[in-house]
Structure 1
């Protein structure tokens, strides 16, 4: 059986870190994801997906993400049934965030990303000084076959 979710969107409200009575960090947040299609002449639609993160993932989101931040979430769907305060049976569906990542540029996130983080450009190996590298010569003349 497979239960995998991958989302990319923007946080709809400022995330607020909470603690359980046993001092475990938990954070509930919502991601707005634009739909990939729209009817001609209609406004683009979005889905608002409830998510929850625990422990270090919750603390990471609280520290580096804010309302409007672009976020990528990997996780699983979890459902739960409960009775509300009026005695009505309810079903809750949310994404349990196992892994989150930055998306977009540093300027979009308001420099919220830690230095040396995901937004750091990859090192360039195309410099003029390649003294650490030996040139590979494609010479097939010595092969016995």
Structure 2
């Protein structure tokens, strides 16, 4: 079984591109807080690369930005490639199958939450699921 569930905040705006076959893909990094503090009493986070395909990628581009809090579920993928020097490089990333908008974006000037999310009429917990047609394999 290969299932990953994460809740965190985007560290930057999503990077959205189209493949040569016309599929939309969004990538971003999700900062996920650890449950406990380090020896200095500071909270630490893991920074996880996320990939979202198809219609979900378009919605992610439209409604999410740096600081947005989301929950995702998907699968872990490890791939490799040869760099320009011929060295084998490995990339570990989460391929998101579901994206949930669970919080607002923190206002950089204060700690208050700024309303953000899908169009009016949709819940704050707006939920996206990948269609089989959106996944390129």
Tell me if TM exceeds 0.5.
yes
Unpaired runs of 5+ in structure 2?
106-111, 126-137
CA RMSD of aligned residues (A): 1.8
Cα distance, 1:105 vs. partner?
Answer: 4.7
Unpaired runs of 5+ in structure 1?
121-145
Which residue pairs with 2:123 in the alignment?
Answer: 118
Which residue pairs with 1:17 in the alignment?
Answer: 16
Asked whether the 8 Å contact 2:117–2:124 carries over to 1, the reply is: no
Who wins on radius of gyration, i.e. which is larger? Answer: 1
C-alpha distance in 1 between matches for 2:22 and 2:104: 34
State the TM-score, normalizing by the size of structure 1.
Answer: 0.75
C-alpha distance in 1 between matches for 2:83 and 2:10: 26
How many residues align structurally?
119
C-alpha distance in 2 between matches for 1:35 and 1:59: 29
Which residue pairs with 2:128 in the alignment?
Answer: none
Q: Give structure 1 regions of 4+ aligned residues with deviation exceeding 6 angstroms.
A: none
Cα distance, 1:42 vs. partner?
Answer: 3.1
State the TM-score, normalizing by the size of structure 2.
Answer: 0.79
Asked whether the 8 Å contact 1:69–1:108 carries over to 2, the reply is: no
Higher strand share: 2
Q: Deviations over 1:4-39 (max 9, x none)?
A: 010000001111221011111001111000100113
